[in-house]
């Protein structure tokens, strides 16, 4: 079983997460927020929230992605995963500007994650037939 599209997408998601981590680190240095403090100016706090929320979402996303790839389709999983990734990027860029702007990216990524789960269910039901 070769799941190359889902594998590439997974690497892209990990790169996005590294970007989140580097954004927090860059702002930590720029704004003088010394580790281990998680408190600072609003700009720093928004970056920390982006990183934290992304980790929280990845806990649901990665199993849903790989289960969909295994039980439904590699291309379907990677396509929905790409929608999730683009939603997370939208979420991050909007949230870094202003907390109130984050909703659309969050909605897009959440719907993509649910669609991955539904793809898994459809694939599993297909096995039962």
The region of weakest confidence among 34-38, 54-58, 103-107 is 34-38
Comparing CA positions, the residue from 62, 85, 78, 68 lying closest to residue 16 is 85
Q: What is the pTM of this model?
A: 0.95
Q: Mean pLDDT for the chain? A: 97
pLDDT of residue 129: 75
Q: Is the pLDDT of residue 1 over 90?
A: no
Q: What pLDDT, on the 0 to 100 scale, is given for residue 101?
A: 97
What value does the mean pLDDT take over residues 17-32?
98
d(CA 86, CA 97) in angstroms, rounded, equals: 17
Report the pLDDT averaged over residues 74-100: 98
Domains by residue range for the chain, with CATH:
4-128 (1.20.120.550)
pLDDT for the residue numbered 67: 98
Q: Is 34 left (phi over 0), alpha (psi -120 to 50) or beta?
A: beta
Q: How far is CA 43 from the centre of its chain?
A: 20
């Amino acid at each position: 079983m070769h799941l190359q599209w889902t594998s590439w997408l997974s690497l892209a998601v990990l790169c996005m997460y590294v970007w989140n981590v580097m954004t927090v680190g860059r702002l930590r240095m720029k704004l003088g927020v010394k580790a281990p403090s998680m408190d600072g100016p609003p700009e720093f706090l928004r970056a920390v929230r982006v990183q934290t929320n992304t980790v929280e979402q990845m806990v649901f996303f990665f199993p849903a992605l790989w289960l969909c790839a295994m039980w439904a389709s590699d291309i379907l999983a990677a396509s929905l995963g790409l929608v999730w990734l683009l939603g997370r990027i939208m979420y991050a860029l909007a949230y870094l500007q202003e907390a109130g702007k984050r909703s659309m990216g969050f909605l897009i990524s959440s719907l993509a994650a649910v669609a991955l789960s539904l793809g898994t269910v459809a694939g599993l039901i297909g096995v039962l037939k």
